[in-house]
């Protein structure tokens, strides 16, 4: 694959390693999808309703898409970043009117027998728009308002997607903080983020009274430490008030914004409730599938748990179960290594870019891919709540594969220039 | 940004990712290599998640007699994903359903979820259950789950107890607690106390072998959560009084509401015609419900005690007397002359007695003239209220404080507000030109005002308490008999000074001794009563009676209304007094009266 692209290129050449990683991941994905729908007692079918046949079509079209991108002029990509962003935003908004409901989220547009999910492309467009904005805005806009606009660019689609009840995809936009961090946002914000997560969990686990008591306790201690510095005391009080407001927001957000099934999942992870609707059960099934894989796995096509459909959504969000079951700890680690290699390669190449646009873009998509990877795998093994986002390049689904392919090949193209 | 700083940040980002990856690797290692549980679980063919349905809470009456309990029932569940080819004809025969029905049910279950068990057939008989249990290995994907059904030792208090039914799709979507096939309280106490009664569902994860047999719990039951049975409730109802009230109201239409005035506890609340609550249980529920709902003549589902709106009739005079006193229009000594009626233009509101009347005598003889004048004077009190609108509104505010024109918002199902027009209503209707005489018939409980029996009973409680009420309610204690239902303990002031109640109560006692309410007398007990005859434009008048006993320390107030029963003393009066007699003395000595009332039919 990489060879043929090299012939097209007149410059130093497309990054062979990225293309190799991509090809490996997509192949593993297809093999796994085949395995989950493979039935040893039935003849191999070739019907367009079979997932592995459809995925093959999407892989084929993805290759075409990748080729087109590589043939484009990189300046065009850069130039039309905002246009694409606005276009995707309109598409996402249009799902309010045209959308059909799948798995409780209204974020799909149906075209014939296919459904496309504009949110997947929104991630790519946001990475491009953000890169363009940093590239052009850094010199012209004052620092504070620059960050405000940057946050606006990621939070606008995130908020709209949240309204469509697709919380998982909305959370993906948080991954841009990797780029923000690289481009000068201070580390303090991450400490605040960590505190926020802690308060969130603590408030949901106990109740707001305990959180309040804890905060007050910390405030008193801080007061004693900083008692001579009036400015710091005032700052501490402001932080205290903000934290209380946050606790109140957590309760309201948890009760009003989250879908019942999402609440259930957070509760499940926090070990808070019995679970009559089955989120627990999904996690148990998922863990059994992965856990039964052992060190070397049961071997390709030999998975029992994932074959008998015990695991829900096993070719999409829970596809890692099949890999864990059939390839065991070794296979899981190999897959993880492959993803890490891909992400780190993107980061490394980004650092080398002379065109800042490419660097910003690279950091943006590296964050997105890493976020997807960690959240998706984490949810199947019970490290994070069950949030329905796909495993990039692996999960069954056209929108997701196209979007991630485009994401990666835009970078490969930029890197080439 | 300088290069050094940038490369440091790059290093930090990569390091964070590597650390995260290491955490994941450790977790995977413990899951896949160290832990044996998952391998063990995967060996068995399937895990099945079984919901443990808690027993619903029991409902007792105030003397610990059971009003509602639970009976065992068996549901057949299906897990669509686990279905294999099976003998459909055999299953159809066992369940007595058609093949189309079977296919439809499986489709419905598949639509809901392929892996979560769905209800396939509910409430099989014990015989069917036993038979099916033997053959279950032939039907992979099916299993039996036990649960409980409501049962009623006696077919009484149907309206207040309410019923339980399958939860609807909307509720399933709104509340993650419920899933398809769950039961939920739909009306009455079952609805109002659903969260207490339902308990907490539990869950078992069991291993199932290839023969569709449960072979034990997964993970030694560590993932299991035991069901917590529902909380039992103690009702304020007195079962024997309720039963007696329903017997007395047989073949009549109407309502009895008896309240313990100090606490607002409803002792009995009868709406007749009623139905057997056992009809609305289990498989036959929806069929029977439709039958009851379609019965447009008897309307058995209609709870008259809370929802029927009647003109209050003469019993409303009590309220107007109190308001007149509070407004300073009259006192116990004020005498109005009754010339045999109250003249409004060319129309005469007749009165069957004559002469100078004070408040006590007016109550005793139910003098129309007296209360028309009192009402007229309240709302036309120009010194206090310059306009009729203000005067009427002041009166209306008093009436609302006495519990009319509003709901008590308690644990009673579907209360109605009644009708209590505002001044604006009359402005509109009479084009702003109206006066005290235009609406004077409200003074004697006729005209535009309509009330529900529970509101009237509550007014009697206010009189018995000399000025306050506790919101009427039907649940006394939750969980244990000592754990009182604190929601309904506040004394609500009715806005009338205690001393104003004396002439009213005195008049009511005189009515029972030597007035319109002589039939209310109970041997050995001082009784206060007031008759009423609610005009009914559609037929014979409604018989109305209000009773308080004993006068010195009221233990019970009874409001009784019998539709088309004629005048108050004829039917409602003896029934109310029999209820009070049974409650206060524990037995009914006036067997003749009792027999007359039991046999009387007003249909």
Q: What is the pLDDT of residues B131-177, one digit of tens each?
A: 887 888 888 888 888 778 888 988 999 999 999 888 888 888 788 78
pLDDT-derived band at B95, boundaries 50, 70, 90:
confident
Where a domain ends, among B220, B235, B250? Answer: B235
Nearest to A291 by CA among A325, A323, A317, A319: A325
The helix or strand, by DSSP H or E, that contains position B208, with its residue range, turns out to be strand B202-208
pLDDT at A285 over 50: yes
CB B489 within 8 A of CB B476: no
Q: Is a pLDDT exceeding 80 seen at residue A187?
A: no
User: Looking at residue A279, what is its pLDDT?
Assistant: 56
CB contacts under 8 A, B 94-113 vs A, are: 113
Distance CA A81, CA B315 (A): 81
- CATH number (domain holding residue B122): 3.90.1310.10
CB contact under 8 A, A340 and B51: no
The chain B residue lying nearest A384, using CA atoms, is B24
> Residue A10 CB: number of other CB atoms within 10 A?
7
Q: Is B425 part of a structural domain of the chain?
A: yes
Percent of chain B with pLDDT over 70: 96
The dihedral through the CA atoms of B330, B332, B335, B336 has a sign that is: positive
Task: Please tell me if residue A377 touches chain B, with a CB cutoff of 8 Å.
Answer: yes
Based on the fold, state whether residues B124 and B268 are members of the same structural domain: no
Q: Which of B133, B132, B108 is closest to B120 using CA atoms? A: B108
Which of B216, B235, B254 terminates a domain? The answer is B235
CA nearest to A110, candidates A99, A120, A94, A102: A99
Give the whole-angstrom CA distance, residue A387 versus residue A390: 9
**Domain shared by B375 and B479, yes or no:** yes
Same domain, B358 and B503: yes
Q: Are B101 and B58 in a shared domain?
A: yes
Mean residue pLDDT of chain B comes to 87
Q: Among A183, A281, A374, select the one facing B20 at the smallest CB separation.
A: A374
Are residues B293 and B147 both part of a single domain?
no
pLDDT score recorded for residue B511 = 87
pLDDT at A270 over 70: no
Q: Which residues of chain A from 166 to 205 reach within 8 Å of chain B, CB to CB?
A: 178, 181-184
Same domain, B561 and B427: yes
SS3 A387: coil
Angle, vertex CA B298, rays to CA B293 and CA B303, nearest 5:
70
CA of A370: which chain B residue's CA is closest?
A: B17
User: In the prediction, which pLDDT does B463 show?
Assistant: 94
Say if residue B441 is in the same domain as residue B500: yes
Q: A296: exposed, middle or buried (C-beta count within 10 Å: 0-12, 13-18, 19+)?
A: middle
DSSP code of B483?
S
CA neighbor of B405 nearest in space, from B462, B444, B436, B450:
B450
Nearest CB to A370 within list B17, B27, B33: B17
Task: Tell me whether residues A294 and B7 touch, CB distance under 8 A.
Answer: no
A303 preceded by a cis bond (ω within 30 of 0): no
- Residue B498: pLDDT band by 50, 70, 90 thresholds? very high
Find tokens 């003889």 and name the residue: B365
* Residue B557 φ/ψ, nearest 5 degrees: -120, 140
For B27, name the nearest residue in chain A, comparing CA atoms only.
A381
> B31 and A291 in contact by Cβ < 8 A?
yes
Entry field: residues in chain B:
603
SS3 of B65-122: CEEEEEEEEEEEEECHHHCCCCCHHHHHHHHCCCHHHHHHHHHHHHHHCCCCCEEEEE
Closest partner residue to A294 (CB to CB) among B39, B41, B225 is: B39
List of chain A residues whose C-beta atoms are within 8 Å of the C-beta of residue B116: 277-278, 281
Closest CA to A282 of A307, A309, A244: A309
Kindly report which listed range (A65-69, A270-274, A308-312, B35-39) carries the lowest average pLDDT score.
A270-274
Q: Report which of A34, A77, A83 is spatially closest to residue A56, judged by C-alpha positions.
A: A34
Q: pLDDT grade, residue B554 (50/70/90)?
A: very high
Question: Tens of pLDDT along B531-540?
Answer: 888 777 778 8
Q: What is the mean pLDDT of residues A104-109?
A: 63
* CA end-to-end span of chain B: 95
B176 contacts in chain A (CB < 8 Å): 260-261, 263-264, 276-277
Distance, CA of A341 to CA of A22 (rounded, Å): 11
Query: What pLDDT is recorded for position B17?
Result: 92
Q: A292 at the B interface (CB within 8 A)?
A: yes
The number of CA neighbours under 13 Å toward the Cβ of A189 is 10
d(CA B259, CA B462): 11
CA distance B413 to chain A (A): 27
pLDDT the model gives residue A8: 47
Residue B474 within any structural domain of the chain: yes
The pLDDT tens digits for B574-599 are 999 999 999 999 888 888 888 888 88
Same domain for B175 and B156: yes
Residues B486 and B509 in one domain: yes
Which has the minimum average pLDDT: A134-148, B299-313, B489-503? A134-148
Chosen from A134, A178, A259, A288 to mutate, greatest number of chain B CBs within 10 A: A288
**Mean pLDDT lowest among A69-73, A282-286, B308-312, B421-425:** A282-286
Other CB atoms within 10 A of residue A255 CB: 9
User: Quick check: helix, strand or coil at residue B602?
Assistant: coil
How high does pLDDT run on average in chain A?
Answer: 82
Secondary structure (H, E, C), B362-389: HHHHCCHHHHHHHHHHHHCCCCCCCCHH
Let me know if residue B40 belongs to a domain.
no
Indicate yes or no: CB of B21 within 8 angstroms of CB of A343. Answer: no
Residue of B nearest to A373 (CA): B21
DSSP category for residue B347? E
pTM of the full structure: 0.62
Q: What domain range is B28 assigned to?
A: 3-35
B100, pLDDT greater than 80: yes
Whose CA is closest to B144, among B50, B80, B224?
A: B50
Last residue of a domain, one of B235, B252, B269: B235
pLDDT in tens, A342-387: 999 999 999 998 899 999 999 999 999 999 999 999 999 988 887 7
What's B252's DSSP letter? -
Identify whether B239 is preceded by a cis peptide bond (ω within 30 of 0).
Answer: no
Contact B85, B162 (CB under 8 A): no
Predicted confidence (pLDDT) per residue in B38-56, tens digit: 777 676 556 677 788 888 9
To the nearest whole Å, the CA of B201 is away from the closest chain A CA by: 7
What's the confidence (pLDDT) of residue B344?
82
For residue B274, which of B248, B312, B237 has the smallest C-alpha distance?
A: B248
With a CB cutoff of 8 Å and minimum separation 6, the contacts of B360 are B332, B503, B506, B507, B510
Residues in contact with B495: Cβ distance below 8 Å, sequence separation at least 6, in sequence order: B326, B398, B401, B402
Contact A383 B1 (CB under 8 A): no
Q: What band does B516 get if pLDDT is binned at 50, 70 and 90?
A: confident
Q: What is the mean pLDDT of residues B98-120?
A: 83
Chain B residues touching A347 at Cβ < 8 A: 10, 13-14
pLDDT at B193: 92
Provide the pLDDT for residue B470: 94
Give dist(CA B603, CA B600) in Å, integer. 9
Query: Which chain B residues are Cβ-neighbours of A344 within 8 angstroms?
Result: 14, 17
What DSSP string describes A272-303?
Answer: -S--TTSHHHHHHHHHHHHHTTTTT-S-TT--
Find the CB nearest B46 among A261, A310, A333. A310
Report CA A206 to chain centroid distance, whole Å. 29
Domain assignment of residue B298, yes or no: yes
Does B44 lie at the interface with A, CB-CB under 8 angstroms?
no
Same domain, B380 and B479: yes
Q: What pLDDT, on the 0 to 100 scale, is given for residue B578?
A: 93
Percent of chain A with pLDDT over 90: 37
Chain A residues with CB under 8 Å of B113 CB are 278
Q: To probe the interface with A, which of B19, B28, B208 has the most A CB atoms within 10 Å?
A: B28
pLDDT of residue B6: 79
DSSP string, A323-349: HHHHHHHHHHHHHHHHHHHHHHHHHHH
pLDDT at A46 over 60: yes
Burial class (CB in 10 A: 0-12, 13-18, 19+), B494: buried
- Rg from Cα positions in chain A: 23
Residues B333, B291 share a domain = yes
Considering the domain architecture, whether residues B286 and B194 belong to the same structural domain is answered as no
Q: Which residues of A58-84 are buried (b: 16+ CB within 10 A; e: fewer)?
A: bbeebeebbeebbeeebeebbeebeeb
Mean pLDDT of A167-185: 86
B172 in A contact zone (CB under 8 Å) = no
With an 8 Å Cβ cutoff, are B113 and A278 in contact?
yes
pLDDT at B303 over 60: yes
Query: CB distance from B176 to chain A under 8 Å?
Result: yes
d(CA B141, CA B574): 63
pLDDT-wise least confident of B260-269, B341-350, B388-397? B341-350
Asked if residue B42 is part of any domain, the answer here is: no
d(CA A352, CA A265): 41
Which of the four pLDDT bands, split at 50, 70 and 90, describes residue A102? Answer: low
| CA B436/CA B374 separation, integer angstroms | 10
Q: Please, which residues have CB within 8 angstroms of residue B585's CB and are 6 or more apart in sequence?
A: B522, B524, B525
Domain total of chain B: 3
In a domain, B41, yes or no: no
């Amino acid at each position: 694959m990489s060879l043929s692209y090299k012939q097209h290129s007149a410059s130093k050449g497309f990054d062979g390693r990225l293309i190799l990683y991509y090809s490996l991941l997509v192949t593993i994905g297809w093999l796994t999808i085949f395995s989950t729908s493979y039935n040893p007692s039935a003849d191999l079918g070739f019907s367009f309703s079979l997932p592995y046949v459809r995925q093959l079509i999407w892989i084929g079209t993805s290759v075409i898409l990748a080729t087109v991108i590589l043939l484009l002029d990189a300046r065009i990509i850069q130039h039309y970043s905002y246009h694409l962003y606005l276009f995707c935003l309109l598409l996402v908004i249009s799902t309010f009117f045209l959308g059909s409901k799948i798995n409780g989220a209204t974020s799909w547009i149906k075209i014939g027998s296919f459904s496309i999910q504009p949110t997947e492309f929104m991630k790519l467009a946001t990475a491009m728009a953000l890169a363009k904005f940093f590239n052009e805005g850094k010199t012209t806009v004052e620092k504070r308002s620059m960050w405000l606009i940057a946050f606006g660019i990621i939070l606008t689609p995130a908020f709209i997607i949240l309204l469509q009840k697709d919380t998982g995809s909305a959370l993906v936009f948080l991954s841009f903080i990797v780029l923000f961090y690289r481009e000068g946002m201070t580390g303090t914000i991450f400490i605040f983020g960590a505190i926020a997560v802690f308060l969130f969990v603590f408030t949901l686990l106990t109740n707001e009274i305990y959180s309040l008591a804890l905060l007050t306790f910390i405030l008193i201690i801080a007061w004693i430490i900083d008692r001579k510095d009036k400015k710091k005391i005032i700052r501490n009080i402001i932080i205290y008030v903000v934290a209380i407001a946050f606790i109140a927001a957590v309760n309201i957000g948890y009760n009003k914004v989250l879908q019942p099934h999402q609440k259930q999942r957070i509760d499940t992870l926090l070990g808070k409730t019995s679970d009559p609707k089955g989120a627990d059960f999904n996690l148990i099934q998922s863990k059994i599938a992965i856990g039964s894989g052992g060190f070397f796995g049961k071997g390709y096509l030999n998975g029992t748990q994932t074959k008998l459909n015990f695991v829900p959504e096993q070719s999409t969000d829970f596809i890692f179960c099949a890999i864990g079951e059939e390839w065991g700890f070794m296979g899981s680690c190999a897959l993880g290594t492959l993803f890490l290699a891909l992400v780190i390669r993107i980061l490394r190449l980004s650092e080398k870019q002379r065109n800042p646009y490419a660097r910003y873009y690279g950091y943006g998509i590296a964050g997105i891919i890493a976020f997807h990877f960690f959240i998706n795998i984490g949810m199947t093994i019970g490290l994070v709540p069950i949030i329905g986002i796909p495993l990039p390049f692996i999960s069954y689904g056209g929108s997701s594969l196209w979007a991630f392919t485009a994401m990666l090949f835009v970078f490969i193209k930029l890197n080439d220039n | 940004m300088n290069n050094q700083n940038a490369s440091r940040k790059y290093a930090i980002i990569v390091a964070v990712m590597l650390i995260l990856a290491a955490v994941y690797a450790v977790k995977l290692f413990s899951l896949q290599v160290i832990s044996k549980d998952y391998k063990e679980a995967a060996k068995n063919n399937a895990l099945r998640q079984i919901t443990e349905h808690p027993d619903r809470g029991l409902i007792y009456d105030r003397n610990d007699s059971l009003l509602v309990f639970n009976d065992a029932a068996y549901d057949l569940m299906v897990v669509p994903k686990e279905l294999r080819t099976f003998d459909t004809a055999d299953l159809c025969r066992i369940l007595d359903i058609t093949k189309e029905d079977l296919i439809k049910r499986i489709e419905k279950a598949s639509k809901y979820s392929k892996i979560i068990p769905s209800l396939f057939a509910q409430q099989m008989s014990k015989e069917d259950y036993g038979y099916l249990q033997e053959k279950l290995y032939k039907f992979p994907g099916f299993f039996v789950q036990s649960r409980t059904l409501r049962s009623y030792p006696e077919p009484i208090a149907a309206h207040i107890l309410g019923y339980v039914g399958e939860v609807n799709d909307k509720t399933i979507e709104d509340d993650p607690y419920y899933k398809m096939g769950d039961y939920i309280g739909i009306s009455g106490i079952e609805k109002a106390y659903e969260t207490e009664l339902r308990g907490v569902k539990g869950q078992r994860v069991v291993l199932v072998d290839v023969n569709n047999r449960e072979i034990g719990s997964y993970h030694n039951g560590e993932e299991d959560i035991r069901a917590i049975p529902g909380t039992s409730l103690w009702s304020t109802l007195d079962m024997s009084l309720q039963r007696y009230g329903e017997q007395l109201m047989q073949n009549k239409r109407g309502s009895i509401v008896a309240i313990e005035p100090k606490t607002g506890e409803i002792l009995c609340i009868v709406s007749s015609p009623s139905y057997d609550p056992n009809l609305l249980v289990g498989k036959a529920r929806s069929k029977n419900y439709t039958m009851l709902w379609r019965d447009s003549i008897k309307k058995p589902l209609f709870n008259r005690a809370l929802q029927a709106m009647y003109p209050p009739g003469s019993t409303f005079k009590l309220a107007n007397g109190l308001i007149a006193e509070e407004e300073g229009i009259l006192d116990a000594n004020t005498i109005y002359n009754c010339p045999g009626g109250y003249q409004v233009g060319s129309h005469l509101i007749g009165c069957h007695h004559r002469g100078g009347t004070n408040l006590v005598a007016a109550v005793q003889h139910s003098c129309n003239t007296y209360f028309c004048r009192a009402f007229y004077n309240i709302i036309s009190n120009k010194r206090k209220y310059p306009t009729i609108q203000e005067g009427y509104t002041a009166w209306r505010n008093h009436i609302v404080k006495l519990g009319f024109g509003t709901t008590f918002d308690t644990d009673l199902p579907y209360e109605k507000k009644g009708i209590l027009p505002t001044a604006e209503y009359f402005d509109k209707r009479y084009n702003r030109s109206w006066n005290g005489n235009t609406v004077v018939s409200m003074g004697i409980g006729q005209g535009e005002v309509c009330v529900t029996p529970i509101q009237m009973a509550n007014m009697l409680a206010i009189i018995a308490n000399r000025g306050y009420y506790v919101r009427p309610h039907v649940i006394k204690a939750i969980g244990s008999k000592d754990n009182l239902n604190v929601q309904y303990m506040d004394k609500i002031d009715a806005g009338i000074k205690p001393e104003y109640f004396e002439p009213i109560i005195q008049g009511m006692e005189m009515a029972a001794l030597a007035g319109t309410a002589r039939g209310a007398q109970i041997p050995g007990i001082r009784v206060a009563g007031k008759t009423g005859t609610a005009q009914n434009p559609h037929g014979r008048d409604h018989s109305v009676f209000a009773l308080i006993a004993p006068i010195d320390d009221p233990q019970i107030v009874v409001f009784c209304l019998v539709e088309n029963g004629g005048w108050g003393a004829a039917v409602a009066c003896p029934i109310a007094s029999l209820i009070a007699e049974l409650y206060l003395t524990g037995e009914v000595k006036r067997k003749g009266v009792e027999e007359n009332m039991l046999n009387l039919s007003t249909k």
